């Protein structure tokens, strides 16, 4: 007996398969130091975001702008120039067709990472073919927590320790939980991060993903910013030993072994593998799995541990199968607690090969895509690695992890599109082109 049209439709829907999601390209602005003396003082946050969206389109000319199905942009403080539904406003300001929708998202430090995984879920389900996902944080315009009004129940009902609302205090708490992680260890790790980032920059491994940003300041005229402002190459352990510990007398967390307060924006282009093949877009990574986890807010830095365990379980992988780790360095103790949990040495060559946020900065909601950019570059450089992860801790007690597969690996399990693994044009855009 033949099926009715409605039954045929239901049968077709029930056989839907999850599609592969691929990371096509990622860019970011140079990161700046927050404050009146930083490179982005007087610059709007949404203008930084627009630079990134435009650059993705410039670098991938085979993508018709009308084929972008969604723009998801994260910010931790969604007011002022980071408000008004950032994904939609950034799409309009960047010149995308008005038919392209957009939305804003917030998961504090994991904002851009959540923008990626949220839209990736839509691609896998078949709701989207191509998306732009990213994040921005102008901590000079919007200091962390500015304008926030925490519910008084947090204090009156002792739902969390008051110290949990200060990220520096949570890092000191993590030191308490891991007494083997001394200040000497965190300072040594921080110095290594500065050195690795400077080495990667000198080798030209950082610049290809940066979008030049022109800024105008009274009395100074225009400046074209093409390099990150926060790094301090040449930093020594002796330099760091002299820094004060602002969160606790005789503490262990300092400005030298933590990420700074920064401004910057990032954006990634994601697609289904079949859409990438159709449009001739490069495949730089394939998304394997992702996971988020909650932990005690008082020790939020441990969040990447359970998130990674969940992501590994979802992927059917073990930690030993991960060949590269991009761990956001909010605090050195947070990275070292992750390494110690999994039995990985502080100086393991798989970890943050290009340095991390202690050197380059951490503009909160933007940082997830920076991790992805650096992992994609390392995949291109090292074809022996099949799987890598991007992971980070998240304020108020969370962790986020995404596992990626290297399309250059001999046993890559995704669909090869036949296009180059490099973006069509990787040199930074001129200000006029952006």
408 DSSP 8-state letter? T
Residue 432: which H helix or E strand, with range? Answer: none
Overall domain count for the chain: 1
Q: How confident is the model at residue 160 (pLDDT cuts 50, 70, 90)?
A: confident
Q: How confident is the model at residue 17 (pLDDT cuts 50, 70, 90)?
A: confident
- Residue 418 resides in a domain: no
Q: Report the C-alpha gap between 411 and 120 in whole angstroms.
A: 23
pLDDT of residue 144: 85
Q: How confident is the model at residue 285 (pLDDT cuts 50, 70, 90)?
A: very high
Does residue 373 have a pLDDT over 70?
A: yes
Q: How confident is the model at residue 155 (pLDDT cuts 50, 70, 90)?
A: confident
Beta bridge partners of 258: 331
pLDDT of residue 85: 97
Cβ–Cβ < 8 Å for 159, 153: yes
Phi, psi at 151, each rounded to 5°: -60, 130
**Residues 293-330 pLDDT 10s:** 999 999 999 999 999 999 999 999 999 999 999 999 99
Residue 395: which H helix or E strand, with range? Answer: none
- Residue 417 resides in a domain: no
- Residue 2 resides in a domain: no
Cβ–Cβ < 8 Å for 390, 326: yes
Does residue 277 have a pLDDT over 70?
A: yes
Q: Report the C-alpha gap between 89 and 267 in whole angstroms.
A: 14
pLDDT of residue 424: 40
Cβ–Cβ < 8 Å for 295, 303: yes
- Residue 174 resides in a domain: yes
**Residues 117-145 pLDDT 10s:** 999 999 999 999 999 999 999 999 999 88
The CATH number linked to 175 is 3.40.47.10
**Residues 223-263 pLDDT 10s:** 999 999 999 999 999 999 999 999 999 999 999 999 999 99
- Residue 433 resides in a domain: no
pLDDT of residue 417: 56
Percentage above 90 pLDDT, the chain: 85
Residues with Cβ within 8 Å of residue 211, at least 6 apart in sequence: 27, 28, 29, 30, 51, 52, 55, 428, 429, 434
Tell me the H-state helices in 137-204.
Answer: 153-156, 167-177, 183-202
Q: How confident is the model at residue 427 (pLDDT cuts 50, 70, 90)?
A: very low
- Residue 187 resides in a domain: yes
Q: Mean pLDDT, the chain, as a whole number? A: 92
Q: Which of 109, 138, 175, 408 is catalytic?
A: 109
The domain in which residue 357 lies consists of 17-141+154-404
Residue 399, SS3 per DSSP: strand
Q: Report the C-alpha gap between 327 and 284 in whole angstroms.
A: 19
Active site residue 138: no
Q: How confident is the model at residue 11 (pLDDT cuts 50, 70, 90)?
A: very low
- Residue 426 resides in a domain: no
Cβ–Cβ < 8 Å for 231, 194: yes
**Which of 430 and 204 is assigned the larger pLDDT?**
204
Q: How confident is the model at residue 415 (pLDDT cuts 50, 70, 90)?
A: confident
Active site residue 52: no
DSSP 301-361: GGTHHHHHHHHHHHHT--GGGEEEEEE--SBHHHHHHHHHHHT--TT-TTB-TT--HHHH-
Q: Report the C-alpha gap between 258 and 431 in whole angstroms.
A: 32
Q: Which of 138, 142, 362, 408 is catalytic?
A: 362
Cβ–Cβ < 8 Å for 297, 331: no
Q: How confident is the model at residue 219 (pLDDT cuts 50, 70, 90)?
A: confident
Active site residue 341: no
Does residue 2 have a pLDDT over 70?
A: no
pTM of the model: 0.92
- Residue 431 resides in a domain: no
pLDDT of residue 124: 97
Percentage above 70 pLDDT, the chain: 92
């Amino acid at each position: 007996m033949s099926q009715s049209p409605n039954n045929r439709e239901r049968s077709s829907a029930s056989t839907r398969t999850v599609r592969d999601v691929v990371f096509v390209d990622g860019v970011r602005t140079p990161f700046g130091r927050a404050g009146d003396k930083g490179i982005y003082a007087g610059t709007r946050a949404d203008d930084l975001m627009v630079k990134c969206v435009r650059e993705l389109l410039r670098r991938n000319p085979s993508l018709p702008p009308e084929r972008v199905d969604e723009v998801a942009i994260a910010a931790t403080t969604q007011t002022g120039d980071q408000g008004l539904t950032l994904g939609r406003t950034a799409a309009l300001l960047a010149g995308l067709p008005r038919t392209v929708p957009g939305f804003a998202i917030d998961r504090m430090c994991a904002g851009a990472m959540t923008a990626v995984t949220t839209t990736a879920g839509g691609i896998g389900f078949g709701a989207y073919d191509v998306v732009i996902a990213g994040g921005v944080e102008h901590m000079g315009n919007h200091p962390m927590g500015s304008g926030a009004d925490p519910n008084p129940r947090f204090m009156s009902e002792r739902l969390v320790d008051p110290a949990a609302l200060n990220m520096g205090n949570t890092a000191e708490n993590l030191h308490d939980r891991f007494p083997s992680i001394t200040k000497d260890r965190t300072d040594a790790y921080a110095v290594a991060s500065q050195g690795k980032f400077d080495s990667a920059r000198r080798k030209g491994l950082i610049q290809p993903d940066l979008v030049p940003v022109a800024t105008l300041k009274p009395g100074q005229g225009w400046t074209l910013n093409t390099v990150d402002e926060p790094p301090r190459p040449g930093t020594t352990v002796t330099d760091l030993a002299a820094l004060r510990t602002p969160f606790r007398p005789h503490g262990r967390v300092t400005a030298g072994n933590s990420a700074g307060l920064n401004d910057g924006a990032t954006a990634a282009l994601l697609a289904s593998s079949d859409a990438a093949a159709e449009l001739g877009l490069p495949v730089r990574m394939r998304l394997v799995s992702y996971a988020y986890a909650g932990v005690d807010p008082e020790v939020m830095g441990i969040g990447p541990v359970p998130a990674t365990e969940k992501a590994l379980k979802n992927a059917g992988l073990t930690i030993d199968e991960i060949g590269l780790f991009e761990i956001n360095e909010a605090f050195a103790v947070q990275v070292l607690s992750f390494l110690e949990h999994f039995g990985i040495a502080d100086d393991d060559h798989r970890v943050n090969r290009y340095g991390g946020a202690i050197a380059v900065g951490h503009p909160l909601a933007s940082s997830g895509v920076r991790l992805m950019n650096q992992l994609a570059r390392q995949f291109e450089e090292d074809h022996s690695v099949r799987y890598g992860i991007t992971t980070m801790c998240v304020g108020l007690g969370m962790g986020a992890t995404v596992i990626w597969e290297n399309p250059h690996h001999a046993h890559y399990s995704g669909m090869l599109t036949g296009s180059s693994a490099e973006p069509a044009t990787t040199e930074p855009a001129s200000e006029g082109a952006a």
